[in-house]
Amino acid sequence: MSSDLLAQPSHGALARPDLSALVDGATYRAGNPFALWRWMRDNEPVVRHEPDVFPGFWSLTRYDEIKEVLRDADTFSSSSGILLRPLAQGDDPGSNRTLALSDAPRHTALRGAIAGWFAPRNLRMLTESLDKTAYETVRAAVAAGRTEFVTEIAARLPLDVVCTFLGIPDEDRPRITEWSTDAFCAGTAEERSLAHLEILDYFGALAEERRARPGDDLVSVLAGVRHEGELLPLEDVVLNCDNLLVGGTENVRLAMSGGMLALLEHPSQWALLRDDFDTRVNTAIEEMLRWTSSATHIMRRATDDVRLGGRHIRRGDLVVCWLTSANRDPAHFTDPDVFDVRRSPNRHLALGAGSHYCVGTQLAKLEIRAVLREFMTQVGEVTLDGTPEHLDSIVVNGLRSLPLRLTPADRRV
């Protein structure tokens, strides 16, 4: 399929579309959810979906209501889960355990314990090794004349950084890389879930070891966190490590590869960025984040009765915020369906908002910048070397594969 999913909204139907398509992975793999979201924003911006495969929930598609929900963590709780799960899968095992699935005061304690690792001062120390890895991976791709951009470049950098933060020994990294690639990109759901179990097992052993012999890494930090006087159970440490690995690699991989495809499909935007990289790189990264909006939705549970967009939400109701739709809302973005690397302002919600705002924001931007810079300096011509494939997930959207053919910069025509 083409990159329609990410890039090419078609004109919305006038008749009420089948809204259940929103929670069908096939819509994201083969369809065009932008038309559906446009119709919903225009006609039913706060709409109830009755229980089916998924529990009953409200869909929010406009920027304003979504931002209101994300910024009000007292009324809209994260602790029972932030992603829609089929009823058959039961409760999210991370509920009330991981940073993302906690409310204050537990959320404040966990976030306070790890936030320093993502602060600019700590990230500055990483820059050199990040730039080196970006240089080497792009150089290898250019030398080979082709690359599978998603797995060989976009996944590589974020995984390296998360492994460093978690203090994963060098000799274990190839295993983690293999499991992560399978957990995200393997062909069948069974293969993906087996690889994920391997990762959880690995973190189980690592958490136990670091609790006994703490080091200077995030696993040791988490293993030493106390909440209400008690150390976190090891299972909570494992789930938090897993969240960092998944959150820290999957979204960056998708934003980087979706952004690369957007640049390829908009050669004038590529030229604008290449011609004045230092001036335009920041706005270009924001636009890549808005355009790709890799976290498709984020969910909350109402802790009280509340009115939202003229509808009555009851205490206990699930509310699903379609971030990708908010980021194409014409009420907030001029020509939202145009990819513009100079867009400013660009207050997208791709990284969330409010107290759960993505803790890895600056890191993600550093990683994307490092790869872009290497592409702009080392690479001449870039063309597709096959058809990009999309994921069929309702949770994250973007590319499973992006085969590229490359020539060195000095052979640029």
Backbone angles phi, psi at 31, to 5 degrees: -100, -155
Residue 370 touching ligand HEM (CB under 6 A): no
Instruction: Identify the three-state secondary structure at position 407.
Output: strand
Determine the longest span between alpha carbons in the chain, in angstroms. 64
Count residues contacting ligand HEM (CB under 6 A)?
A: 28
Binding residue (CB under 6 A) for ligand HEM from 298, 306, 318, 341: 298
Stretch that binds ligand HEM, among 36-44, 240-248, 328-336, 340-348 (CB under 6 A): 240-248
308 beta partners: 311
Binding residue (CB under 6 A) for ligand HEM from 45, 81, 94, 247: 247
Alpha-carbon distance of 371 to 375, in angstroms, equals 6
Alpha-carbon distance of 68 to 48, in angstroms, equals 18
Site for ligand HEM in 157-186 (CB under 6 A): 158, 162
Stretch that binds ligand HEM, among 22-30, 231-239, 262-270, 354-362 (CB under 6 A): 354-362
**Is residue 150 within 8 Å of 257, Cβ to Cβ?**
yes
Residue 248 touching ligand HEM (CB under 6 A): yes
**Is residue 191 within 8 Å of 138, Cβ to Cβ?**
no
Helices (H), 213-331: 218-224, 234-265, 267-275, 277-292, 323-326
Residue 134 touching ligand HEM (CB under 6 A): no
Residue 363 touching ligand HEM (CB under 6 A): yes
Residue 218 touching ligand HEM (CB under 6 A): no
**Is residue 113 within 8 Å of 225, Cβ to Cβ?**
yes
In the complex with ligand HEM, which residue's Cβ is closer, 75 or 251?
Answer: 251
Binding residue (CB under 6 A) for ligand HEM from 80, 96, 243, 407: 243
Alpha-carbon distance of 188 to 200, in angstroms, equals 19
Stretch that binds ligand HEM, among 88-96, 142-150, 288-296, 333-341 (CB under 6 A): 288-296
Residue 60 touching ligand HEM (CB under 6 A): no
Residue environment code for 253-284, b if the CB has 16+ CB neighbours within 10 A, otherwise e: bbbbbbbbbbbbbbeebbebbbeebeebbebb
Contacts of residue 413, Cβ cutoff 8 Å, sequence gap at least 6: 380, 381
**Shortest distance, position 40 Cβ to ligand HEM, whole Å:** 20
Tell me which residue has its CB nearest to ligand HEM.
360
Site for ligand HEM in 72-101 (CB under 6 A): 78, 82, 99-100
Residues in contact with ligand HEM, shown as a per-residue x/- string from 99 to 118 under the rule CB under 6 A: xx----------x-------
Alpha-carbon distance of 17 to 45, in angstroms, equals 13
**Shortest distance, position 246 Cβ to ligand HEM, whole Å:** 9
Binding residue (CB under 6 A) for ligand HEM from 94, 259, 352, 398: 352
Q: Which residue ranges make up the site for ligand HEM (CB under 6 A)?
A: 70, 78, 82, 99-100, 111, 158, 162, 243-244, 247-248, 251-252, 255, 289, 294-295, 298, 350-352, 356, 358-360, 363-364
